Amino acid sequence: MATFGKSGKSGKSGKSGKSGKSGKSGKSGTLFATDHAGGEMSGHLSLALAISRDATVGDWQGGVDPVLQTLGARHARLSYLTPALRGDLIDQDLIGSVAVLRGAATASVEAQGHPIVTITRPGNADFAGQMPYLRAYADLREDRLPEILEQTDDLLSFFGAIAHLDDASRQWTLELLEAAVRFAVLVEMPLKHEFECPRPNAYSSNVQPIIQTPAHGSFPSGHACESFLIATLLYRLAHSESAHHGITNKATFFRLAARITANRTVAGVHFPFDNFAGAALGCALGEHIIARARGAEVKTTIAFDPAAHAEDFSLDELANVLSTEATTGPVAFDHVPIVRTFWDQAKAEWS
């Protein structure tokens, strides 16, 4: 899994830097403290403010000003909150909008009682059958090493090179993407834990990954989930089209997501099966976020079954995974006000 936020690389303990390197605008920095209008918060400044107040207020007995100041429109736009506190609000609404139903063989993510993605675990023999892919991908290691190292904990810089993401003109887009990645991690980890799939180097000592093999399970790939989730949201923001549309047309966002995903196999820490399941999960979560922002219908349930997709990971094969039809019919999801605010503010940055 990628890691996000300024606090990500400061230590080996805690939550592995999940809030990450990839964005300055999300939940990084001090949660509650904010600078004053003309300088950083300090004890000396606080004392100076107290002295100034005593000198200027006069004989105040606790009366209320004639016009009470209220948050007004800023409340609806969330603009009165720091990015970190906005992040807390959307995090609660996103993770509260789904349920992860875990099983050792098959698991699903549901929303309003409707499965939005179902994933079936490959058997150990299935993973072993993919070892020739690990051997072939290893030939690309020297060419891809700079990407692999940077993408270990930074995905957004690569997408930002395509979409010009910055804190000035697309702050809300960045905050939305960072929240989406945090959401993805909270969905990925229960699945990885339940499926308990060994990494490639457990099958052969000849894999010898070029980065440290993560301690948690291999399936589904967190990097695949997060990169395809980012691509899905950006493609909707930029083109107002679905993930399936973008993948079928091999749009740049999804070509990048596929390369980031494949790089994890090049590095020696993921199988193609991991990548299929992670990418399908990322697209499903992206479309779910959009549906919850807009109160829209979701017409398909994405299902990954390794028996039907035994080839190497590719956008063409992923398009086949995403075309799986739902058996329960379309579901109109209720919109979530906080998620809608984030989406609307981000969408306005693309007009």
Domain-embedded: residue 30: no
Distance of CA 30 to the CA centre of its chain: 21
Q: How far apart are CA 26 and CA 19, in angstroms?
A: 8
Domain-embedded: residue 46: no
pLDDT in tens, the chain (351 residues): 554 443 344 344 444 444 344 444 445 445 556 788 888 889 999 999 899 999 999 888 888 888 777 767 777 788 888 899 999 999 999 999 999 998 889 999 998 888 889 999 999 999 999 999 999 999 999 999 999 999 999 999 999 999 999 999 999 999 999 999 999 999 999 999 999 999 999 999 999 999 999 999 999 999 999 999 999 999 999 999 999 999 999 999 999 999 999 999 999 999 999 999 999 999 999 999 999 898 876 655 678 888 787 789 999 999 988 876 444 455 667 778 899 999 999 999 998
In this structure, are residues 259 and 288 in contact, taking their beta carbons and an 8 Å threshold?
no
Domain-embedded: residue 314: yes
In this structure, are residues 27 and 178 in contact, taking their beta carbons and an 8 Å threshold?
yes
208, 213, 246, 196: which is closest to 1 by C-alpha? 213
17, 14, 15: which is closest to 6 by C-alpha? 17
What amino acid occupies position 18? K
Count of domains observed in the chain: 1
Domain-embedded: residue 44: no
Q: How far apart are CA 19 and CA 7, in angstroms?
A: 7
Q: How many CB atoms lie under 10 A from the CB of residue 234?
A: 28
Domain-embedded: residue 57: no
Domain-embedded: residue 241: yes
* Interacting residues of 323 by C-beta distance below 8 A, sequence separation 6+: 244, 300
Structural domain including 257 reads: 83-348
**H-type helices in the chain, by residue range?**
43-57, 73-77, 83-95, 124-128, 131-137, 141-151, 156-163, 171-195, 222-239, 243-248, 252-267, 272-294, 315-322, 337-348
What CATH number does residue 165 fall under? 1.20.144.10
Q: How far apart are CA 208 and CA 187, in angstroms?
A: 29
Domain-embedded: residue 305: yes
Q: Residue 28 burial (CB < 10 Å; 0-12/13-18/19+)? A: buried
Domain-embedded: residue 3: no
Q: Return the structure tokens found at 220.
A: 């589904």
